[in-house]
Amino acid sequence: MARRTARLSVGVMVVGVAVLGSRPAVAAPRSTVGAPLSATFSPGAGSRAVSLVTPDPIVSRLGGGPATMPLTIVVGEAGVSGAAAGWAVTVQASDFLDAAGDRVSSAALVDGDNTVTQSGGGGAAVAVSDPGPLDQPQTVLTDKGEDPDRLYTGSFTDSARLVLSPPSGTKNGVYTSVLTVTLLT
């Protein structure tokens, strides 16, 4: 008989669990807690750089007048702190040399008709319309008005026209030069 009683007790416990499991749960009182958040944005977290320079080859017929070609310079900002004093882009070319060592001064190359488009970024970008001969660094683009306590992301596209006027006495040939584009911050 003791065994039978044990079986009944286990059966009652199982039934008791089944009955309790089918009852609706009692809702606990609701409480809300606000937790303060803090975010620190530090200067110098991003980048500002010349991201694209696309000069086309210059083709000139001696005696045919100046040769022109388009030039595009893109500066990108990516989560960078504003430059309080502004920033600028300069362009300079080395002298043109052919395989025989004949030289055409880079003063014969000028940058002109600059325009700038700005997408996002900080400050106000301004293109220098006719900076002059490229035998020395010429500023082609400036940006002023950025707040050093703010972060900026955007792009600045400078579109220009390079004009090469070969001087009298220039020999036929293929001449090369290096165009150096510098971001000054």
Kindly tell me if the per-residue pLDDT of 2 is higher than 50: no
Q: Identify whether 36 is part of a domain.
A: no
Q: How does residue 59 score in pLDDT terms, banded at 50, 70 and 90?
A: confident
Report, as an integer, the average pLDDT of 85-92. 96
This prediction's pTM: 0.74
Q: Identify whether 135 is part of a domain.
A: yes
Q: Identify whether 20 is part of a domain.
A: no
**Dist CA 115 CA 133 (whole Å):** 17
Report, as an integer, the average pLDDT of 26-46. 68
Q: Identify whether 147 is part of a domain.
A: yes
Residue predicted with more confidence, 162 or 13: 162
Kindly tell me if the per-residue pLDDT of 8 is higher than 70: no
Instruction: Count Cβ atoms below 10 Å from residue 78 Cβ, excluding itself.
Output: 16
**Dist CA 110 CA 164 (whole Å):** 7
Q: Identify whether 154 is part of a domain.
A: yes
For 157, the token pair is: 């596209």
What's the number of domains the chain is made of? 1
- Provide the mean pLDDT of the chain: 82
Domain hosting residue 154, numbered range? 47-56+66-166
Residues 166-178 pLDDT 10s: 998 899 889 999 9
All residues at 6 or more sequence positions from 126 whose CB lies less than 8 Å from its CB, including other chains:
116, 141, 142, 143, 144
Beta-sheet strands, E only, within 9-150: 47-55, 67-81, 87-93, 96-97, 103-104, 109-120, 124-127, 132-133, 138-144
Q: Identify whether 120 is part of a domain.
A: yes
Q: Identify whether 80 is part of a domain.
A: yes
